[in-house]
Chains A and B, each alone.
Chain A
Amino acid sequence: MSNAQTTELRQIAKRLLEEGKIDLFIGFQEGTLPLRSRPAFVSAEAATADSPATGSPGAGSLIWDSFCATNLAVYLPKYYENQPGRRKKREKPYPKIGVAAKGCDMRSIVALTKERQVQRDSLVVVGVPCRGMIDTRKVEAAVAAKRGSAGDGGSAAAEEILEARETEAGKLEVTTRSFGVLTFDREEVLQDCCLECRYPMPEGADILLPGQARKPGDGGYARVERFMEKSSEQRWEYFSSELSRCIRCNACRQACPTCWCKECFAEQTDLKWIGVGNTPSDAMVFQIIRVFHQAGRCVECDACYRACPMHIDLRLYTKKIVKDVEETFGYLPAFDAEALPPLATFGDEQCDFFITDPDKNEAAEGTG
């Protein structure tokens, strides 16, 4: 399926590779499942065409559509990490990489730049004004609703969907096995993170694709606020029942661009913070700490939520941490590479009574 963004993206990637401005372009190609496009890594040799001999896709395979939800920034730290051999010799310069980025991807790139996990000047970011990405799970749920929640008729939702196609008119046509073609408005089946997204336009991109970004959303705190109105027993009940499905596969952690630690706290044996199994307390503590480690860094891309094979409602908690950081520190990780992350900085004006005068009454003084 071709559109203006796809055509432009292919030309840009091809040009950048042929001109030697980049060694690799990371974008998307057609997926093998309906409603999915998947990451493509186009190397310089493959600039002009597909290279079946090596299996690498060519610039001509790149696409841009509403199934490009994956946050491509997740691949970047690996290219810039300090390998043991590189520590002393800088003869081999960092690779130059081109990457397609939506608003959330760009925010992750900025976060990674601040944390020195990518070299911004070795990147050529091709920004895509984002109209939002389609939520596979919403489409599956809509198909499941067709089947009816009572009784056992029809095959399971995921297997119902044979094909999905975006139309020029902004619709999604889904061909199913039992119910013919179902048509949805894009907005009906867009990801929640996209409906709520405040930064659909990737500011600071080196090249911008044509197209109109969607209007920014409101950040989506309303759901968190409603949830916080429940009693603590109800909230605990929800959290523990969601996490009871956790199989500790680490997909959430691996899918997140800002989870880049070489050794995750969960893997340390010396000290051992949590166990490795799916004992409820281990699964819950893992998630709590993971989310807290994302404070001031999470860009609300929902990569963790999409990656979870057990469909755990991770996005409620990531959204909560984003909200807490914004409300406490007035900070959101966006496009300003100079803005200091609050949990990585400590200024004179911040309170430190808990170190200097721990008996002080914090309620009376207020927090910093």
Chain B
Amino acid sequence: MKTPVEQKLARPQAPSNPYLPYPVVIEEIRIENEARDLKTFQLAFEREEDRKAFRYLPGQFAEVSVLGSGESPFGIASSPTEQDFLLFTVKLTGSVTADLHGSEPGRRLGVRGPLGNSFPWDRLRGKRIIIISGGFAFTTLRSAITYMLHPDNRGDFGEIFALYGARSPGELMYKSELAAWKKSDAIDLNLAVDREPGEPWDGKVGLVPNVLRELAPSTDGAIALVCGPPIMIRFTIPVLQELGFAKEDIILSLENRMKCGIGKCGRCNVGAKYVCVDGPVFSFAELENLPPEY
């Protein structure tokens, strides 16, 4: 049963020019990590009709435009239940992100989207959700968790188990959300850092795949959502399979270099699938049939 938010979505009505961005303005910029190379941008639509047209589900992404520098695809970190703004967490990597990181609130940007498929919400309903994430890939999972924990939606899902790891405590993102979720009964949140930190730490210590093996969440009626750097994914999948997950029940989100975001420029394909329209969310079963070019 779809919520009102979802009813208007899966594929929004395609705009007449899908390359034109919606104008948005930066409301707030938050530094997420100690290294200060991860910033969350809170964006507000300038036009109400754009805000209404931008119907998305957790797992989707958007192309954020920095006029003069270019566009970059980012997973949407806000949940559709947070109706007044969009959140994107951006790592400083290249010329577009550098321009973005140098911004101040009040700067106008552009957003194209929502793009891509989302997490498979139709399948996730009624299931126990096992979330595994590492590093700065946690962005769309912030969206997913916020969405599921919303009072309108919580009843649709079973237990939620989340494991989120980073190099050190300072590198964990969304610290205020994490603090709230730690206290909540609605989600079993486990945090991990790679090595013993030189500060008080009450979470787990170890690489995510190892901590997952240790915590061994039950696979009963569960689907796993995995988002992380390629190396983490490579070692996490065998653990999930050991625990008893079937390949169709391991859900991943891919990244690839993108430009158009709408399946025309030919750049982001993995085999016959375009990450921007057929993905970025794929099951492990689907990925096994694709060439390892990602």
Contact = CB atoms under 8 A, between A and B. Distances in A.
Does B bind A? yes
Contacts of B94: 269-270
Interface string B169-195: 000000000000000000000000000
Contacts of B98: 270
A269 B97 CA distance: 12
A230 interface: no
Contacts, number: 7
Contacts of A90: none
The DSSP consensus for interface residues of chain A is loop
A269 B66 CA distance: 14
Interface of B: 70, 94-95, 98
Most A CB within 10 A of own CB, among B70, B94, B95, B98: B95
A226 interface: no
A352 B98 CA distance: 37
A113 B98 CA distance: 38
A269 B98 CA distance: 12
A270 B70 CA distance: 12
Interface in A259-290: 269-270, 272
7 contacts: A269-B70, A269-B94, A269-B95, A270-B94, A270-B95, A270-B98, A272-B95
B202 to A, nearest CB: 38
Contacts of A272: 95
A270 B69 CA distance: 10
6 pairs of A and B residues whose beta carbons are closest in the complex: A270-B95, A269-B95, A270-B94, A269-B94, A270-B98, A272-B95
Contacts of B70: 269
A272 B95 CA distance: 9
Contacts of B95: 269-270, 272
A266 to B, nearest CB: 15
Contacts of A269: 70, 94-95
Contacts of A270: 94-95, 98
A275 to B, nearest CB: 12
A364 B98 CA distance: 47
Nearest to B69: A269
A267 to B, nearest CB: 12
Nearest to B95: A270
A291 B70 CA distance: 29
A269 B93 CA distance: 12
B265 to A, nearest CB: 13
Nearest to A271: B95
Nearest to B99: A270
B54 to A, nearest CB: 28
B7 to A, nearest CB: 41
Nearest to A272: B95
B152 to A, nearest CB: 43
A10 to B, nearest CB: 37
Interface in A295-311: none
Interface in A121-144: none
Interface in A194-209: none
A7 to B, nearest CB: 43
B42 to A, nearest CB: 26
A304 to B, nearest CB: 27
